[in-house]
Structure 1
Amino acid sequence: MKITKLGHCCLLIEESRLKILTDPGMFSTSQNEMKSIDVILVTHEHQDHLHMDSLKAVLRNNLKAKVITNRGVGKLLEKEGIGYELLEDKQGKTISGILLEGFGEKHATIYQDFGQVVNTGYRIASRFFYPGDAFYNPGKPVEILALPVAGPWLKLEEAIDYATLLKPKVCFSVHDGMLKFIGPTHKVLHTFLPTVGIEFRDAVKDIELVF
């Protein structure tokens, strides 16, 4: 599996011959020019995860790409005339021999009900888990974790505790597009995650990670 971090939570995941793009949001633009995308996974409707102009650009360049998401995002896509397939909590779908699974229902709390939307995390090929904006435990083994590390809905302490709970072999940071400097955050993760047996890999914009 090869994962290229395009920025924030926009990832290009290549598994076998399948190319999956996650969350084409407002913190990255390189996805707009990409070709040969098979699947676009959208975890929820906030603009740092779903920028409609970006999604439309991706679809123009990838006419056969399938958008897979939840009912909350689906309502917005319907208004734009964009087709999609549902994949929600505890549901599975196999595409080109690769199993995609959905987990979770709600975005993590920001404050009271502010910004509360449907959020679906996605597990890919029984190896990789990207939870979107939530610390949801899929209840299945996670080898590779995309770990949210910053934002109005989390503390870094919670991120470390979440990784410790899931016990992946390796993780890398996502949801960090609002950070001016990522170094201090990475330093904390490099300090503590190895003590519980988790390898942490630096993930900055346009870096490729091979697993």
Structure 2
Amino acid sequence: MKITKFGQCCLLIEVAGRRILTDPGRFSDGQNTVENIDVILITHEHADHLHSESLEAVVANNPGVQVVTNTSVGTILTELGISYDVLEGDAEATYADIEIGAFDGEHVEIFGEYGIVQNTGYFINNELFYPGDAYTNPEKPVRILALPVAGPWCRARDAINYALEIKPEIAFPVHDAILNDNGVALVHSLVEQQLTGNGISFHRLKSDECIEV
């Protein structure tokens, strides 16, 4: 599996000859010109995960791409005139020959009711779990975890505890675009230290970098 991180939570996941894009948000634009994408997964409606101009560019560059999301995001996509499939709750489906499993919930609290929206994590090919902005436990073995590490709802302690709960073989950081270079270095180092000490391989993936795992 090859994983390219454009920024924040926008990932290009290449597995079994297929290309899956996650959460084309406003904190990255490298995804806007990528072609040959088979599936787009959108976890929730916040602009750092769903930026309408970015999504429209990606869809225009990839005729026939399947957009997969939840009901809440679907309302927005309908207004944009973008077709989509709903995959939420605990449903599973196959897109472009890749099995995708949904794990539904709510966005982690930022402050009170502010920002609380439907959030659907996705399990890709029974290998990679991307939770979106939630600490959802899929209650099944996870080989690779896309781990949120920073944000107005996410502390390093929370990220570490979540990874230790999931116990993946491999983890890499997402949701870190609000950090400057010093912040990225600090948070990635802290998370890496705690996870590797507990038997989890941590890849310090930065924006515009890729890894093969």
Taking structure 1 as the reference length, the TM-score comes to 0.98
Counterparts of 2:14 and 2:65, CA distance in 1: 14
Aligned to 1:171: 171
Deviations 1:154-191 (A, max 9, x none): 11101000000000001000000000121001110121
1:199 aligns with 2:201: yes
Aligned to 1:20: 20
Counterparts of 2:153 and 2:177, CA distance in 1: 14
Structure 2: stretches of 5+ with no match in the other structure: none
Aligned to 1:186: 188
- Give 1:201 shift: 0.5
Counterparts of 2:114 and 2:96, CA distance in 1: 38
Aligned to 1:120: 120
Deviations 1:15-53 (A, max 9, x none): 112100000000100111010001000000000000000
Aligned to 1:39: 39
Structure 1: stretches of 5+ with no match in the other structure: none
Counterparts of 1:98 and 1:81, CA distance in 2: 25
Which structure 1 residue ranges, 4+ long, deviate > 3 Å from structure 2? Answer: none
Counterparts of 2:60 and 2:5, CA distance in 1: 21
Q: Identical aligned pairs, as a percentage?
A: 48
Question: Equivalent residues in 2 for 1:105-116 (5 A)?
Answer: 105-116=105-116
- Give 1:95 shift: 2.1
- Give 1:97 shift: 2.6
Counterparts of 2:186 and 2:136, CA distance in 1: 25
Question: Equivalent residues in 2 for 1:115-154 (5 A)?
Answer: 115-154=115-154
Aligned to 1:59: 59
Deviations 1:82-120 (A, max 9, x none): 110001121101123311001022111111110111100
Q: Give secondary structure in 1 for the equivalent of 2:73.
A: helix
Aligned to 1:79: 79
- Give 1:13 shift: 0.3
Counterparts of 1:196 and 1:90, CA distance in 2: 29
Aligned-CA RMSD value: 0.8
Q: Return the letter of the residue paired with 2:152.
A: P
Counterparts of 2:95 and 2:84, CA distance in 1: 14
Counterparts of 2:143 and 2:93, CA distance in 1: 19
Aligned to 1:160: 160
- Give 1:205 shift: 1.2
Deviations 1:51-85 (A, max 9, x none): 00000000110011011000010001111111100
Deviations 1:108-166 (A, max 9, x none): 11111101111000000101000000000011111100000000111110100000000
Taking structure 2 as the reference length, the TM-score comes to 0.97
Counterparts of 1:151 and 1:196, CA distance in 2: 24
